[in-house]
Structure 1
């Protein structure tokens, strides 16, 4: 009787609707992650995998200075990309939200998403052409007489990786900030100005705090994928711009050491998770302090 009532209830219909995407997510997300985690406790000798559980890979990962250096570099590069992207994206989102006519906002959003029309690899190669020794930027600067020799610090290093990734992920930062700004009740801004606040203080005390959810979303959306990027560092980073994802790729595809690659992937995911949770905790603490 109880099973009959449950089968005909709204809860059962909801579960039936949720079940297919939940199963899909389980198969494509949870299972691969579990496989990577299991691989990290195994060892491999060329093509032969020893399934005996061991912590050898983790001991090697924490004792090898190169791995720690790559993880630290990845965090610093991803943090720099996130900071640059969010700082540059906020004025654009603010302009579209507050200074563009409502009937033209869709056009602006459409223009912001145009970079997605081209392949990610093409955009990276274009930045390689722009930042190259004889590229567009150096040629222009020399033609204008601003530099005597080509700039060498803008390609095949961490700077090139930051510039390229900041451009690639700019729309990911603009859109959530724009959505947060659109949700702000304009009457609150008018009330602040009626009470004597100037535009700068109104922005600092009203607009910016209300836009924090969008900023947090943009930060996480940019930081998490950039720390795992391996294409851009490989193409424009040079030896000093490689990140932990490049080492993971090398372990899997060149050194035939999938367990070590899985171990580095688990460590990298743990670092990203800790940083993301710490950022969210600090944001909530800041919001509670202001309330």
Structure 2
């Protein structure tokens, strides 16, 4: 019996070895390279002269880096909040209102934005919110304004709108999956006991859907803080985030050690915030994954 279990384990390891090796190659190797660069004085791994912590000292003591990092965290948190708040009603509608025969069609429609490049979608929002864009032209045509509104673009609000739209499907799908797993008999039992629909939602539906909400929050928060296209185009380069700072150090200034230290620091901060969020969810909402 034991030999049979070992044989099955060996077959399983043989089966997953190729994709596991590929994953380690495309994920671990770049991360290890960046980590190695962050401890160098020069930007050449082939000539390792001396390891140093000066890059990390510069990152943690520079007020500009601190300001950009706080701004990045704030924008990412705001985008996550807006995206999840808007995605939850959509996911709830798909799960509880749409008939089972039409759910696949609705999910198909939600994934349509993935058909176009992320860069194209960002450019479209720039056209929509621009000085002579769709919004300003429409308002002028209706006679609501006489001069185009200049505050629609190149600010944090426009960045939040663009990022929330870009990552909306990533938030809708995990929340929808969590809602689909809820036993409908629990909701009926709550109403049979005299609870209103609002209280049933608050005490039953929302706690049971929290794993999906947590997953959606992390899925949106992590890539948002590393986005550099939207701040460059929609923000006009006036509101740089940490990814823009990393890109500037890596490419424009050719300072790969400092850019790598910025990247490693950003990853560590995001990891800490993600762990704190999950821990708070388990502690206060009593959710068990």
TM-score, with structure 2 as normaliser: 0.94
Task: Give the Cα–Cα distance (whole angstroms) in 2 for the partners of residues 10 and 99 of structure 1.
Answer: 44
Match of 2:56 among 58, 62, 86: 58
In structure 2, the residue matched to 1:219 is 217
| Alignment map for 1:127-166 (pairs within 5 Å) | 127-166=125-164
Question: CA distance change for structure 1 residues 23 and 6 in 2, over 3 Å: closer, same or farther?
Answer: farther
For residues 190-224 of structure 1, the C-alpha deviation after alignment (integer angstroms, 9 at most, x for no partner) is 11111101111111111111100100000000000
For residues 226-258 of structure 1, the C-alpha deviation after alignment (integer angstroms, 9 at most, x for no partner) is 100111111111243221101111111111111
How many aligned residue pairs are there? 287
Task: Give the Cα–Cα distance (whole angstroms) in 1 for the partners of residues 252 and 194 of structure 2.
Answer: 65
In structure 2, the residue matched to 1:256 is 254
Deviation at 1:142, TM superposition (A): 2.7
In structure 2, the residue matched to 1:39 is 37
In structure 2, the residue matched to 1:238 is 236
**Is contact 1:157-1:239 (8 Å) kept?**
no
For residues 47-93 of structure 1, the C-alpha deviation after alignment (integer angstroms, 9 at most, x for no partner) is 99654101111111122211111111111111111000000000001
Deviation at 1:149, TM superposition (A): 3.0
Structure 2 residue runs without a partner (length 5+): none
**Is contact 1:47-1:256 (8 Å) kept?**
no
**Is contact 2:43-2:257 (8 Å) kept?**
no
Question: CA distance change for structure 1 residues 52 and 232 in 2, over 3 Å: closer, same or farther?
Answer: same
| Alignment map for 1:98-177 (pairs within 5 Å) | 98-177=96-175
**Is contact 2:210-2:287 (8 Å) kept?**
no
Deviation at 1:286, TM superposition (A): 1.4
Does residue 282 of the first structure (1) align with residue 280 of the second (2)? yes
In structure 1, the residue matched to 2:26 is 28
Deviation at 1:30, TM superposition (A): 1.3
Deviation at 1:110, TM superposition (A): 0.3
Question: CA distance change for structure 1 residues 7 and 213 in 2, over 3 Å: closer, same or farther?
Answer: closer
Task: Give the Cα–Cα distance (whole angstroms) in 1 for the partners of residues 237 and 124 of structure 2.
Answer: 20
Task: Give the Cα–Cα distance (whole angstroms) in 1 for the partners of residues 252 and 67 of structure 2.
Answer: 20
